[in-house]
Amino acid sequence: MRSEQSYVAGLYTRLDGERAQVKGRYSAALRGNGGSPMEREFEVRALAKEVKRLDVADNGLCFGRLDTLAGERTYIGRIGLFDEANEFETLLLDWRAPAARAFYVATAATPEDMRRRRQFHTRGRQLVDFTDEVLGRPDGGEGGDAALLAAVNAPRGAGMRDIVATIQAEQDEIIRLDHPGVLVIEGGPGTGKTVVALHRVAYLLYTQREQMERHGVLVVGPNPAFLNHIGRVLPSLGETNVVFMTAGDFVPGLRATADDTPEAARLKGSLRILDVLAAAVADRQRVPEEPVHIELADVTVRIDAATADWAREEARTSGLPHNAAREVFIEVLTWALTERAITRIGQGWLTRADREAWENLRTDLREELADHDGFTAALDELWPILTPETLLTQLYSSPERLRAAGADPALFRVDGDAWTVSDVPLLDELVDLLGRDKPVDRTAERERRAEAAYAAAVLDNMVGREDMMDDEDHLFATDLLYAEDLADRFLERDTRELAERAAADRDWTYRHVVVDEAQELSEMDWRVLMRRCPGKSFTVVGDLAQRRSVAGATSWSTMMEPYVPGRWVYRSLTVNYRTPAEIMSVAAAVLAEFAPEVQPPESVRACGVQPWSREVGADELATAIEEFVREEAGREGTSVVIGPPDVPGTVPASETKGLEFDAVLVVEPERILADGPRGAAELYVALTRATQRLGVLHQGALPRALTGLAGIGSPVRAVR
């Protein structure tokens, strides 16, 4: 024990020394130590990342040791450390390194050439105990589950913890799986699918850092509470180039504040909505019902239906998005109106041979049309510049426009801009259908280039005056950015962190995407995500039995095959590390009612506390909830009260997806279950959030699946 404590203490000494060296170089880089400004900025960013990597290693730096049959020892930890004098001597092996794999997968039956696995138990920087597991000797006894059971039995804190010290063989195989496409991981409650997906990201960033780091990783979760819950896992593993989003965040700057009806959500989630969007855009490309007269200085011209229809067809067949195709529409109309005007104005005095006069007249007419308010108003009516928000707002709030686009009347709403999560992929799709507002884009580009040119001229002037300065005021060239450098900074440099830049850029593409609770995503959601990751590298985790969205997945092949045919693989997790057997038996009974074909995960432990139920009257419900909250406040760990949205003091089950609590109180399960198949999935989610204690309060009869609960207080009545 003492020798191991000494070794761990030595690792921390090495960590502190390396950290001091890196922080010293970081401070020097901030002060400026030669090189170009861009080189210094690159160095500062790289060193800042290294400082973070070393800082996160403080907690649980070393968590185990492997002994080979040949007597060699390898210590496994959160990061890799090397001897200061000999950089080829490994003091601590990073858990993601190939050589560390045996720490997670070696068993008595398949020892992987290992003799012993030693798992450390630490408190802060102190090693307080360790557990040995002898490998390759079935009669030697095993204690390898001690670390795992200690972790799953520990009280829950404010967020999810990493599992680098307790990764199981089933999980490790998935984390290290070498598959370049889409990996679908399905697992019931408590199987660790979320944390496995996050550790897979850390593993990929370790093994493919150069390819992945420039574009970053996107993690998509079901709600902000879930993202907050998992947000510390990757930083604790030293990875920060990660963007966390919900499906409602796919369009930067937009916030969904309303809810769709199930039918509207189903319609918007289907790929058939693409035809509606295309038709809605086409409906805004119009021809006049009556000719539009444009009075110019010397002649009046008119836009008739035939001319506008010709211009519209030319614009549509250009292949450009709507806003860009408007320029084609304008060009054709301008040409047609100009030619007609020239013919009328020049009749009797202008011959075809007088080319210069013709061209001058043509130029004058084009300029007059371009500045004509009536012509501009006609263009805005026939081919308006549209934003995704404008088009959808006007579509939803107009029965006439919905009919014209062939849309279901269920999409109508009075407040067209009351955005829902289901609107987000439609708005994203419309960015491509409509394109950017090109005139605005060109103006912004001109302004940026003007700023850069101005800055370059000012700096050139400063540099040119160097020879005119005396020694005291002399400016050294190394202290200056030259004109080209400054211009580049104005035009190209962005000093924000990668995650911040990516989250704000709708066109950003990621090297890898993690999707959690993936069974809730619609076909349209997947279309957005596939657009965000051209390489189609995904880790997808979910549980079809927990699906509550009417637009969500009913099978993984339905969602994956259209995008990655033959490039996706399926893996399942079957062991429940979170939910004790006593609670899982209750949840399994609910699962058998609505999804009898699904096998519930097997719990690895029992907690010794039986779930309970209690029948209360309407006037007793609030008091019973308060009693539970008060009692749990005096315990270590976390708790939650889950119930229908209209019951004070409760949260809906949908807001607890992916979360875990030491104690859970489920209120009025009969009302949760009454919401059809979605309600059954909600109740299943609610029952499987607890790691230690589960209670149920009900006013009406208990659902049949819950009749096995132990009753407290008044007799439990059950539906037969």
State the maximum Cα–Cα separation within the chain, in Å, rounded to a whole number.
Answer: 114
The three state secondary structure string of 70-116 is CCCEEEEECCCEECCCCCCCEEEEECCCHHHHHHHHCCCCCCCCEEE
Q: How far apart are CA 26 and CA 33, in angstroms?
A: 10
> What would you report as the CA-atom Rg of the chain, rounded to the nearest whole angstrom?
33
Per the structure block, which two tokens stand in for 712? 């407290």
Where does 126-272 have alpha helices with state H?
145-153, 169-175, 193-207, 209-213, 224-230, 233-236, 262-269
Q: How far apart are CA 677 and CA 684, in angstroms?
A: 11
User: Phi and psi at residue 255, in whole multiples of 5°?
Assistant: -125, 125
Q: For 508-530, give one letter per residue: b (16+ CB within 10 A) or e.
A: bebbbbbbbbbbbbbbbbbbbbb
Bridge-based pairing state of the strands 300-303 and 90-94: unpaired
Element (H, E) at 484: helix 483-491
Distance of alpha carbon 601 from its chain centroid, rounded? 27
* 194 belongs to an annotated ligand binding site: yes
Residue 487 DSSP SS3 = helix
* 191 belongs to an annotated ligand binding site: yes
Reference 559, options 546, 572, 544; nearest CA is: 544
Distances (CA, A) of 449 to 234, 439, 488, 489, 666: 39, 15, 10, 11, 61
Q: How far apart are CA 49 and CA 32, in angstroms?
A: 18
* 190 belongs to an annotated ligand binding site: yes
Torsion (CA) 603, 607, 609, 612 in degrees, nearest 10: -30
* 136 belongs to an annotated ligand binding site: no
The answer to whether the beta carbons of residues 171 and 577 sit under 8 Å apart is no
Q: Which residues contact 123 (CB under 8 A, 6 or more apart)?
A: none
Distances (CA, A) of 42 to 38, 207, 506: 6, 22, 25
The answer to whether the beta carbons of residues 252 and 506 sit under 8 Å apart is yes
* 193 belongs to an annotated ligand binding site: yes
Q: Cα–Cα–Cα angle for 342, 345, 351, nearest 5°? A: 70
The answer to whether the beta carbons of residues 603 and 190 sit under 8 Å apart is yes
What strands, in cross-sheet order, belong to the sheet with 90-94?
81-82, 90-94, 73-77, 62-68, 114-123, 126-134
* 189 belongs to an annotated ligand binding site: yes
Q: Kindly report the number of other CB atoms within 10 A of residue 471's CB atom.
A: 5
Which residues are annotated binding-site positions for ATP?
187-194
Which residues are annotated binding-site positions?
187-194
